[in-house]
Structure formats: structure tokens, C-alpha cells
Amino acid sequence: MAKTRNRSARLYQKIAMPVTFIIVALVCLLAVLSSVVIVWIQNDQTEKSVRQSTNYVYRSLWYQFNSLKNIPSFIISSREIENLLEKRYASKADAVSDYYDLFTEFENISLMSLLNEVDPRSQAQISYVVTVIVGAGSGLYDLATDRFATVNGIYKNDDVKDKDWYRKLSESGNPMVWWAEPGNADGIGGHIYVAKRKVSAKDGRELGYVVVGYALNNIRGVLNQVGLLQGEFVLADEQNRVVYGTSYPFGRTLPDSFTAGMNGQAQGEGQGLLTRKIDGEQTFIAWGEYDNGWKLISIVPESRLADYTAVVAAIAVGVSLLGIVVTTLLIRRVAAKVTVPVTRLASLMKRVELGELQPPARLEPAYIDEVDLLGRGFANMIARLNGLIEEVYVRDIAQKQLQLDLLHAQINPHFLYNTLDMINCKALDAGDRDISRIARLLATVLRFGLNKGQQVIALRDELKQVSSYLEIQAMMNGELLYNIQADESLSAEPVIHFVLQPLVENSMVHGFRQQRTNRRIEIRVERDDGDLLIEVHDNGCGADAERMNRLLAGEEPEAGSASETELPAQTSGLGVRNVERRIKLYCGDRYGLRYMPADSGTCVHVRLPLAWPGKSASDFSPG
């Protein structure tokens, strides 16, 4: 016991001390580096967060802008709307119906914005305003509203000719113009506009201008969904004027120091992350540019991140120190739980090495799956080893008993052969060829039946033995037909000796007991799935195949009286059950006898190995 404790203590020290030292050193190193790493991670995560938030908002606004851009394109490409704008009218009354048809079409297009929900928490509202501005040459000019307003409708161009966007749109090569207009002092009511000129597809004359407005409240809804806890978003037009921003007023032009590096690329291709000093403070700036030249800018001052750095660093150091204490205690406990059962198991293995194969009465659980599994596996191995030793012992006794049974069935072969030879000679001298033939056949039966005590015989000899037996039965009992079919290439294959005669004898004694004519026995030998299969089939009274198999397996006891559904008694010293036991003993549980269902008579399959790897006939000899 003292030696076991000393070994356990030494194993504990070898495991616990180095592991504790390494972990404490690592934790201390991590504590020193944690502040630097956390600050770096914080800045890196902030940069990623700013970039991801900007990309998300950028894609959301791109979808809104793309939908907004498609509306004037749709109106301009509409053949129905073009016909209404091109049409000439004799009087105002003639144009009223078409005017309201066009107005209704704009209202329907505006209602589509209800499907484009931006902020699910806000009330659904119409965010598109669709208008057409016509000149004096249009048939709808007289019915058009004089002063332009952000309401669906048709307006005269007199009120907007001096607007910058109108002049830009009138210039050739400018297919679409974007601009923004503020709302009231609270920023409510502002709109983003996109306008496109409509030209007649027939004669190329100008028919008017399609103007679509988009409420800035939708921009506010998109930005409010994401938000930057440490910063804000700004939407600026192509001239870097603020369209929307939390702390940047509408129309303010962003300074060059703010936008330097954003305008160096072609329109619609700019996107990136910059670091700038704004108002004397270092600031993260992520930006993305749309194909209309507008920019989405996210601004995060570094000073808003410094508030978290010191707190996080202090927490990291505190957690590291606490981790050292907790880890040390856990290592000591875990090492003890591992080393004690391992040492106990090593002691058990040492006893087995000395020859003590008694399994432990009880294994103390280590509550560690791998250690408990190892202990149970070792105990099971000892139990299995004892079981195998006992199994080999019992099998050896059974084999000796079977050999003894076979010896009991044998008589002095020389005496038998000499006696039969004398009978044969006397019969020939007397001219009685039948008795001579019976003597020769009986000699063949006995010679191959005894087989010099060997348990393995060539297939051709086993077939000769059973053929001689059937010839004798035919001469003794009258009409009997038999047929043996075997592939010549299988004639030299080794088989268990004396397996066929008990089967055909069972057919003669039980299958044909009430049948004296039209008696047939067929024996067929073939290869089957790498095995040797012998089929014995008679046309007798038949038997219940399932019950016969249960009797063979020992699952059902034999009845006291012999009947056609019972295994026969020990015929000629060895019966069908003896055949089954000998095959399984020498070949394994996979092989043996099996009764098969048959339309008439009884059919038995004998399955034997076709090859005996690593064995020869001497391996099956007795003793």
C-alpha cells in the first residue's frame, strides 16, 4: 500500500507541477499582452463594424436609389403615356379625360411605394411623388398646374425654367439629374428628386420632363435601422453637400480635409476606409459612392472608443489573475483524479503479469470516461480470457469425446476385411455373384466409413462410400433409384468424413418406411458463394423443415418416439445430430446442416468450407 501511494504521489508530481508552471506562465504572459491585444482587437473590430454597417446601409440605399431611378425610365418607356403626351386636342374639354387618365397612372405608380417598406416599425406611407412637366407645345399644357409642387400631377414648365436641375436636364448628353430639397426646420418633408427628359419616339421633339420625388424620411428610416453607437452616417451629393446627417445640416458643404481621397476615382467606383483628423480629432471614415455621384459616409471618432479600452484592459488583467488561481486549484484536483485510478489500474496489470487472472471484484469509478473505459475494458479482457481458456478446455473435451464415440463405432478393420474377402471368394466359387457383389460393396462401405480414424476425407471417397451403401440398400429393399451429380473439379476437395450416410440412412429408415416402390434419392454437389454445398433430396413422406432445424439447433427437445418429424436415433453409431455437431466443431458455426422446404419429400443442405486455409488433413486427425 505504501509503495502504491508513493507511485501515485510521484505520478501526481510529474503531471501537476509542470502543467501548473506552464499554465501560470502562459496566463501571466497573456495578462501582460492583453491590454495591447484588446486595444488592437477593439480598433480592428471597430473598423470591421464600421465597414460592415456602411456596406449594409450602402446596399439598402442603393436598392432605394435603383428603384427610384427605374420609375422615370418606366414612365418614359410606356407607349400609353407617350401617346397621351403627344396627342393634340381641339379644346380643353377634349383633353380632360386623358389628363385624368395620366394623373391616375401617376397615382398608381406612387402607390407602389407602399410595397417598398423601409422601416417595419414606422407607419406605411406613400414615399414616391410622380410628376410630369410639360411645355406649351403639349396638348395637356392648358390643363397643367401653373406652379410646381411636390404632389403627383402635371405641371407647366414656366415655374422651373430657372432651376439648376432643369437647365442641366435640357443640356444634351445628360439623361438623368439628381438633386435634393430640404423640408421644414425639423427636416420633415424633404425629398430627393430624379428627373429625366421625355422625347418623342416618332419625331424626336421634346414632350416634357418626368420628375420623381422620394421622401427623405425613408433615408432616415434606413439609417435608423442600423445606426452607429459611436458615430453617425452622412449622405452627400456629388458636390459633397449634405443631403442627410444627424449633426450635419442639410446643404452644408463638407470640407476638403474631410473628403480628400474620395474623389480620385471614376463616378460610381469609389469605396473605402480612411482615417482623418476632423476638428482636431482622429476619426474613422468609411465611405461608398453611388453611380449618380452621391456618397454614403460613416464617421466614428476614436475618442469615443477610448472610453471602453481602459475598462476592458482592467477587466482582462483581473480575469487573468483570477484564472491563475482557479486553474491552479483545478489542475491539482484533476491530476489527483487521474493519477490515482491510473496507478490502481497499473497495479492490477502487474498482478495479471504475474499470472493472477482473477478479475477485480469492484473498480472504483474515476468519473473520467476514458479512465473508466480503460478499467472496464481491462476487466472485461481478463473475464474474456478466462472464458476463452474454459471454452478451449470444454471444446477439447468434446472433441476427445467425439473421437471416442467414433472409435466405439469401429471394429477391427483387418478382421472385417478378411472375413468379407473370404465371403466374396466362397460366393464366387459357388457361382453366387449377388453375394459376391454385396460383400465387395460392404467392404467399400466399411473401408471408407472407418477411414483409418481420420476426420477428413476426399469428396470422391465420401461419394463412393454412400454410393456403395445405396447399392446395398437397393439389393436389400427392392426398388430404389439414386442419382449422384458432382463436378469433377470438386472430387479432390476435403470434406468432413461420414456426413452423407447418416442422411441417406435417415431417408431409408424414416422417409421410405411406408413406401416400397418409386423411391428416389438425389445427391447434388456444387459451389455456392465460396462454399461447398451438398444437397440430399428424397421423395419420401417428408418432414417439417422448420422444426427439424430447431431440433438440430437444440431449441426444441426431441420426443420420446421416433416419427417422420423427429431426428433419427443414432444410426450406425452416429446420427444426424452427431453430423451437425462434428461439422460445427471442425469448421465453425457458419457451416453445418439445414433442412430446406420441399414440394415433396425431404431436402437437406450440407454446407462445408471449400478451402481450409492454414490446415491440412492431419490437423483433423484424432489425438
Average pLDDT in the 201-230 region? 78
Segment 477-490 mean pLDDT: 86
Residues 297 and 312 in one domain: no
**Phi and psi of 182, rounded to 5°?**
-75, 165
The region, left, alpha or beta by phi > 0 then psi within -120 to 50, assigned to residue 276 is beta
Last residue of a domain, one of 301, 319, 335: 301
Please tell me which residue, 452 or 431, carries the higher pLDDT value: 431
425, part of any domain: no
Task: State residue 121's pLDDT score.
Answer: 47
Is a pLDDT exceeding 70 seen at residue 485?
yes
Flag whether pLDDT at 261 surpasses 80.
no
Residue 198 in contact with residue 82, Cβ under 8 Å? yes
C-alpha distances in angstroms, 60 versus 222, 243, 290, 291?
Answer: 7, 16, 12, 14
Report the pLDDT value the prediction gives residue 361, as an integer from 0 to 100.
62
The CATH number assigned to the domain holding 292 equals 3.30.450.20
Residue 281 sits at the vertex; the CA angle it makes with 279 and 287, to the nearest 5 degrees, is 85
Domain with 214, as residue range(s), is 78-221
User: Which of 508, 487, 506, 604 shows the shortest CA–CA distance to 549?
Assistant: 604
Q: Is residue 427 part of a domain?
A: no
Is residue 431 domain-resident?
A: no
- 5-19, 44-58, 303-317: segment of lowest average pLDDT: 5-19
Q: How confident is the model at residue 173 (pLDDT cuts 50, 70, 90)?
A: low
| pLDDT exceeds cutoff 60 at 270 | yes
pLDDT digits (tens, 9 = 90+) for 338-388: 777 777 777 777 777 776 766 666 666 666 677 777 777 777 887 787 778
Whether the Cβ atoms of residue 234 and residue 299 lie closer than 8 Å to each other: yes
- Say if residue 563's pLDDT is above 50: no
Is the per-residue pLDDT at 57 higher than 50?
yes
Res 116 pLDDT > 80? no
Q: How far is CA 314 from each of CA 31, 42, 44, 216, 311, rounded to the nearest angstrom?
A: 10, 14, 19, 44, 5
Percent of the chain with pLDDT over 70: 73
Where do the H-state alpha helices sit in 179-236? 216-226
Lowest mean pLDDT among 317-321, 405-409, 539-543, 555-559: 405-409
Domain boundary among 172, 193, 221: 221
pLDDT at 560: 45
pLDDT digits (tens, 9 = 90+) for 187-199: 567 888 999 888 8
Q: What is the predicted pLDDT for the residue at 31?
A: 67
Same domain as 240, residue 196: no
Helices (H), 354-458: 369-409, 413-430, 433-450
**Which stretch of 77-86, 170-179, 299-308, 386-395 has the lowest confidence by average pLDDT?**
299-308
* pLDDT at residue 244, rounded to an integer: 86
175 and 242 inside one domain: no
Q: Is residue 261 part of a domain?
A: yes
Quick one: 285 and 313 in the same domain?
Answer: no
Dump pLDDT digits (tens) for 85-114.
Answer: 778 787 778 888 888 888 888 888 777 655
Instruction: Report d(CA 542, CA 513) in Å as an integer.
Output: 11
- Residue 435 covered by a domain: no
CATH number, domain with residue 463: 3.30.565.10
Query: Which carries the bigger pLDDT value, residue 485 or residue 456?
Result: 485
Are the CB atoms for 188 and 220 separated by under 8 Å? Answer: no
As a whole number, the mean pLDDT across the chain is 76
**What pLDDT score was predicted for residue 124?**
43
Indicate whether 263 and 311 sit together in one domain.
no
- Residue-wise pLDDT for 591-600, tens only, equals 999 999 988 8
User: Is 490 inside any structural domain?
Assistant: yes
Q: Which of 58, 53, 43, 50 has its CA nearest to residue 270?
A: 58
User: Looking at the structure, do residues 483 and 589 belong to the same domain, yes or no?
Assistant: yes
Q: Is 623 exposed, middle or buried (0-12, 13-18, 19+ CB in 10 A)?
A: exposed
Given a contact cutoff of 8 angstroms between Cβ atoms, the answer to whether 345 and 381 are in contact is no
% of the chain surpassing 90 pLDDT: 5
Tell me the angle at which helices 369-409 and 576-587 cross, rounded to the nearest 10 degrees.
130
Let me know whether 473 and 610 are in one domain: yes
Look at residue 540 and tell me if it is in a domain. Answer: yes
Is residue 79 within a helix (H) or strand (E), and if so which, with residue range?
A: helix 79-86
Query: For residue 63, is it within any domain?
Result: no
Higher pLDDT, 192 or 615: 192
The structural domain count of the chain equals 4
pLDDT at 122: 46
196 and 147 co-located in one domain: yes
Same-domain pairing of 99 and 233: no
CATH number at residue 213: 3.30.450
Are 127 and 10 in a shared domain? no
**Does residue 281 carry a pLDDT above 90?**
no
Nearest by Cα to 208 from 51, 304, 102: 102
For the cut 70, the answer to whether the pLDDT of residue 12 exceeds it is no
> By mean pLDDT, which of 52-66, 113-127, 233-247, 377-391 is the weakest?
113-127
Neighbours of 399 (CB within 10 A): 17
214 and 271 co-located in one domain: no
Are residues 159 and 270 part of one domain? no
Q: Provide the H-helix boundaries in 209-295.
A: 216-226, 256-259
Residue that is last in its domain, among 353, 377, 393: 353
| pTM beyond 0.75, yes or no | no
